[in-house]
Amino acid sequence: MAQLNKENLNLSFYRDNAVNLTSYSYTSSPTMAVQVAYDSIVKLMDLWEYKNMRIYPIVGNEVYSEESKVKNNYVSLKEALEKQTIEVRELSTGGTVNTLKLSNLGKDTIYIMAGEVVLGGKQDRAIGQELILPPGAKDVQVKVFCVEHHRWSQGSDGTKFNGYYGIAGNQVRKKVVVDKNQSQVWAKVDEAHGKAGVSSSTSSFKDIKKSEDYMKTMGDYKEYYLPKLKAVENLLGFVIVSGDKIMGLEAFATEHLMKQQLDKLLESYATEAMQEGAKVTVTTEQVDAYMKQVLDETKQEEIIEKGGSELKLNNKKLHISVLEN
């Protein structure tokens, strides 16, 4: 077993040959294992495979669940915008493409995930970093990327952002989170529109939802996966594959954080699977090999640095995201 420190939300790996079960776990002691609930038996694989995508859920045991209950004091960016407890604004009246400022007007701590898209201001933006915004935080500058290339003018809300899209399609999100390249973000937005068969006068990523085919297929993915994932107790994350590749891994410190982001993350990954994926040919052995790399304590930070993001609070990880190109 590659043993890592659960305090930092790292993962360990082991195989139980007796039940043919491959498990991935967060561990601080032998009694604190958080196991991935999947079996290499084909029948079970079929349960978590639909169209171009297969999901490997990561779940926590009862001990971990009890410990994590005290950490449920975060609200999502979506909820904060709906309740108007966060203010998202352009940096100035003139605006700066790759920077916005955030203020927490409420009493709850707000968790903001890299890749989330806010609507308004002078152009829609995707958040470029993960952060925690505590109560009272004011004018915190955050890195962002434009996902609306052909607009640079204030809407009815002036320099404020009051709208919320969700998480950008995973192929766009990778350019935001990993490559951090504005030109590549715009190119991927245009590519996503082209594959969805939609046109957008301002090239806003949100206009992908103008496609009836896209919305129908996305609805099918969500109808299949969401009930299954929501029914998983102590869900902490997942590994998702499509075609012959692993698309990525998401792992959260608590079920509360995971299920806050579940719907949005599923849409993000499903968008990539729909537009760039294929029938799953990835084998369990390939996923095992991948996980051994990700979970090796000597390699994990390097892997995240090259292709993902993480959020730490008081030197403890709240979220790990590994995005594969």
In this prediction, residue 155 carries a pLDDT of: 80
Sheet containing 109-112: order of strands:
74-76, 109-112, 131-133
In this prediction, residue 312 carries a pLDDT of: 86
pLDDT tens readout for residues 31-83:
323 444 433 333 445 568 999 999 988 887 666 666 566 556 799 999 999 99
pLDDT above 90 covers a percentage of the chain that reads 62
In this prediction, residue 299 carries a pLDDT of: 83
pLDDT tens readout for residues 10-23:
443 323 333 233 34
How large is the average pLDDT for residues 256-282? 96
Q: What is the 3-state secondary structure (H, E, C) of 52-74?
A: CEEEEEEECCHHHHHHHHHHCCE
- Give every CB contact of residue 239 below 8 A, 6+ residues apart in sequence: 24, 36, 55, 56, 58, 246, 248, 249, 287, 290, 291
In this prediction, residue 72 carries a pLDDT of: 60
Q: How buried is 29 (Cβ within 10 angstroms: 0-12 exposed, 13-18 middle, 19+ buried)?
A: exposed
Structure tokens at 286: 């390939």
What residues are paired with 257 via a beta bridge? none
Phi, psi of 295 (to 5 degrees): -90, 0
Evaluate whether 151 touches 202 at the Cβ level (below 8 Å). yes
Structure tokens at 277: 């994926």
Q: Sign (positive/negative) of CA torsion 209, 114, 59, 285?
A: positive
8-state DSSP, 272: H
Cα–Cα dist 253/296, whole Å: 18
Phi, psi of 14 (to 5 degrees): -155, 160
CB atoms within 10 A of CB 163: 16
Q: Are strands 74-76 and 109-112 parallel, antiparallel or unpaired?
A: parallel
8-state DSSP, 24: E
Q: What is the 3-state secondary structure (H, E, C) of 38-54?
A: EECCHHHHHHCEECCEE
Q: Sign (positive/negative) of CA torsion 126, 132, 133, 139?
A: negative
Ranges of each domain in the chain:
6-71+214-323, 74-196
Asked if residue 115 has pLDDT above 70, the reply is yes
Residues in the chain: 325
Cα–Cα dist 231/228, whole Å: 5
Q: Which of 2, 46, 104, 1 is nearest to 279 (CA)?
A: 46
pLDDT tens readout for residues 150-176:
999 988 778 999 999 999 999 999 999
- Total-model pTM: 0.87
Evaluate whether 224 touches 50 at the Cβ level (below 8 Å). yes
